[in-house]
Amino acid sequence: MRRAWPLLLCSLPLLAGCERLMRNMYDQPRLDPGEPSSLFADGKASRPPPPGSVAHAMGDLAATSSGRRGDEVPAQLQAAQSATALPPVTAELLRRGQERYTIYCLPCHSPLGDGDGPIVRRGFPAPPSYHQQRLRQAPDRHFYDVITNGYGVMVPYADRVAPDDRWAIVAYIRALQLSQHAPIAALPPALQASLRALPPPGAASSAANGSTGR
């Protein structure tokens, strides 16, 4: 047993060397995405794909599987980018649009879409209301392009909002517009009848003023 101690003591430096080799594998001398580099004229380490190249796979699944998964995403991206109008609107699409709208749009555009969001109330320039006639008549693609490319002081959101989610936001914007400008004829018959039974605007205040004067 006493003879084994010197052998164990001599092996300790070797173990430290193994750890150093393992650490070199963890911290490789490479440039990660987003890091600067003086090797290229634009100062970026990440290089754009060659002109005319077509992505085989994209998204988180592609990034974590070395491109073995996520091969359906490029086709979905192309379909979303080439669309000119909303896809069929479903409850699931509206829920997704509401979620994305709340994250990215509500701070400026407000929950109602009238441009009076919490950031605007703190001094940021107010965006136009979605309820003005110009935007109610604007094509669906207009909102998609504004989300993608930005407009005025609004920055582009193409790097934060996926193409499918942009269309979901557009669907929710249309729902907000409809909530303030829905024609009575488009409502269910029972709701139409209840609305027609309501007194006209101002009738209650006129009756109150008349009773006071007698």
Specify the CATH number for the domain of residue 120.
1.10.760.10
Residue 149, pLDDT score: 94
- What number is the average pLDDT over the span 10-14? 62
Task: List, for residues 113-147, the tens digit of each pLDDT value.
Answer: 999 999 999 999 999 999 999 999 999 999 999 99
| Phi and psi based region of residue 70 (left: phi greater than 0; alpha: psi -120 to 50; beta: remaining) | left
Q: Is the pLDDT of residue 8 over 70?
A: no
Task: List, for residues 37-49, the tens digit of each pLDDT value.
Answer: 888 888 988 888 8
Residue 75, pLDDT score: 84
Is residue 154 in a domain? yes
Residue 79, pLDDT score: 86
Residue 88, pLDDT score: 93
Is residue 199 in a domain? no
Is residue 203 in a domain? no
Is residue 175 in a domain? yes
Task: List, for residues 15-30, the tens digit of each pLDDT value.
Answer: 555 666 666 667 777 7
Amino acid at 151: Y
Number of domains in the chain: 1
Is residue 13 in a domain? no
Count how many residues are written for the chain. 214
Is residue 172 in a domain? yes
Q: Is the pLDDT of residue 208 over 70?
A: no
Q: Is the pLDDT of residue 67 over 60?
A: yes
Residue 140, pLDDT score: 97
Is residue 75 in a domain? no
By residue range, what is the domain housing residue 159?
A: 84-184
Looking at every residue in the chain, the average pLDDT score rounds to 84
- What number is the average pLDDT over the span 152-168? 92
Q: What is the 3-state secondary structure (H, E, C) of the chain?
A: CCCHHHHHHHHHHHHHHHHHHHHHHHCCCCCCCCCECCCCCCCECCCCCCCCCCCCCCCHHHHHCCCCCCCCHHHHHHHHHHCCCCCCCCHHHHHHHHHHHHHHCHHHHCCCCCCCCCCHHHCCCCCCCCCCHHHHCCCHHHHHHHHHHCECCECCCCCCCCHHHHHHHHHHHHHHHHHHHCCHHHCCHHHHHHHHCCCCCCHHHHHHHHHHHC
Is residue 162 in a domain? yes
Residue 1, pLDDT score: 55
